[in-house]
Amino acid sequence: MSADQTSFTHPSFGRMAADRVIIFDTTLRDGEQSPGFSMNLAEKLRMAEALATLGVDVIEAGFPVASKGDFESVNEIARNTKGAVICALARSGGARDIAAAGEALAPAERKRIHNFISTSPLHMKYKLRMEPETVLELITSGNRAARNLTDDVEWSAEDGSRTEPDFLCRCVEAAIKAGATTINIPDTVGYATPEDMEKIFSMLRERVPGAHEVIFSAHNHNDLGLGVANTLASIRGGARQVECTINGIGERAGNAALEEIVMALRTRNDQYPFTTGINTTGLLKVSRMLATITSFDVQPNKAIVGRNAFAHESGIHQDGVLKNAATYEIMTPESVGWTRSALVMGKHSGRAAFRDKLRALGYDNMDDERLNDAFARFKDLADRKKVVYDDDIVALVDDEARDHDHIRFVSLSLRSVSGQPSEVELDLSVDGKPAHASATGNGPVDAAFNALRAAFAHDARLALFSVAAVTEGTDAQARTTVRLEEAGKLVDGQGADADTVVSAVRAYVHALNKLLVKRARTEPEALSV
């Protein structure tokens, strides 16, 4: 796209204004590679639907050749998710990769194959063990193969920010000639600065033949905390697609966060006069959904969606906000989905009030079974707790929404006397069948986890155990996080309950369910040339 164009043509979206930035979300692919994160098929479908409702333009659903489960996930998302382009990842040099991507995407209304290969000297020498000319050949053959399956083809130069400029230009030119319609230059290891990224995109648009006919894309990792800054700089340099994730999840330090990019463009439109199709009032809802599914809480001071993002404790700040919110708030809480409602629920609150409260908190798509389960737990909590706050309801609803397809917690009884081993009786449901175990341990939690290992045999190691209070007070619910490690694979589980031991067991059960999903994951075969 040349600098003087007022619009550009996209193979899936048609004619688009030159100030329109395409939002490419890779939460389900790159984001899921975060240590401890994993999603099953049902959770991926929920996230894909939420992303499409949010207004995401392109959803990268997965890497079909990696495993049977990945293929099935992409295929089901392609079949069921409407409104967004569904994208699948493939390696440029992998004929099986591209064929699998095309097959998985077959049911999609609009589909994209995203193929990639490393282009930096470091990656070509040590990762690929290939000469530059071989890489160029694979770029050509890979994009031609993808273009035979769809008109919407993206090519990525892995480690593009550390690629020699002349060779990067040759690679981009080869990809365009072979049919790529989107060219992505990722900062794969988060090494670049904003100045680097703006310069790279400006250089490619000036030097590469055919550059004005394609859309350039930025994919920035956050290893130096520059992911969002690099993305904004990339847009200045001419990128009109940005690749990002909800909550900034991803490998190592994560990716550029979707919510931060979108709100930066909206809030500082004077500096970045660009638009997106994102319904910003849905950002908090999708952020919370992802946190629930992955069992990875958003840090309190996280921009946009952290619980402190619009909190003011300083007296000077509070006084200013009360007089005029703009004194200390550069955007309104409501613009990203926060609500100022603080209606307190109690034991006399009925189902209708509970449903209304859930809608106000962003839970407006719960099925009847989950609603009934959540309401039953709410009534039980209200009987034991003087005041039920919004955060209490969020904690218990999130806990009910988590996957318990294979293993479900049923009940627990505990006997603990100081100076003596604790004793636990535990009942689970495993694939619909009852499982009972008794165990002792050095304290209630140790005994409960020993009972879990007896009721459902496994060799996973407990790598993390953390307990936090949901709200204040001695009657507050506990939110427990458990991380399990098995054969190098990490999974995190969360649970909430007014009883800390029950909370811990719920978290462990959730982690076990995620581990069962992750056991089926495999790495794709190495490329052979």
Measured in whole angstroms, how far is the alpha carbon of residue 405 from the centre of its chain?
21
Here the tokens at position 81 are 């998710």
Hey, which residues does 483 pair with through a beta bridge? 464, 492
Here the tokens at position 386 are 């003087």
Any known ligand binding at 219? yes
Among residues 264, 473, 503, the alpha carbon closest in space to that of 387 is found at 473
Give one DSSP letter per residue of 408-453, joined into a string: EEEEEEEE--TTS-EEEEEEEEETTEEEEEEEEESSHHHHHHHHHH
Would you say 124 and 150 are in contact if contact means Cβ atoms under 8 Å apart? no
Cα-based angle 158, 164, 169 (whole degrees, multiple of 5): 80
Strands 489-497 and 58-62 turn out to be unpaired
Any known ligand binding at 222? no
Would you say 451 and 442 are in contact if contact means Cβ atoms under 8 Å apart? no
Would you say 155 and 184 are in contact if contact means Cβ atoms under 8 Å apart? yes
User: What are the φ and ψ backbone dihedral angles of 330, each rounded to 5 degrees?
Assistant: -85, -5
Q: How far apart are CA 514 and CA 38, in angstroms?
A: 6
Among residues 140, 212, 137, the alpha carbon closest in space to that of 175 is found at 140
Would you say 501 and 480 are in contact if contact means Cβ atoms under 8 Å apart? no
Helix (H) or strand (E) holding 255: none
Any known ligand binding at 255? yes
Sheet holding 433-441, edge to edge: 407-415, 422-430, 433-441
Binding-site members are 30, 219, 221, 255
Q: Which residues are annotated as a binding site for Mn(2+)?
A: 30, 219, 221, 255
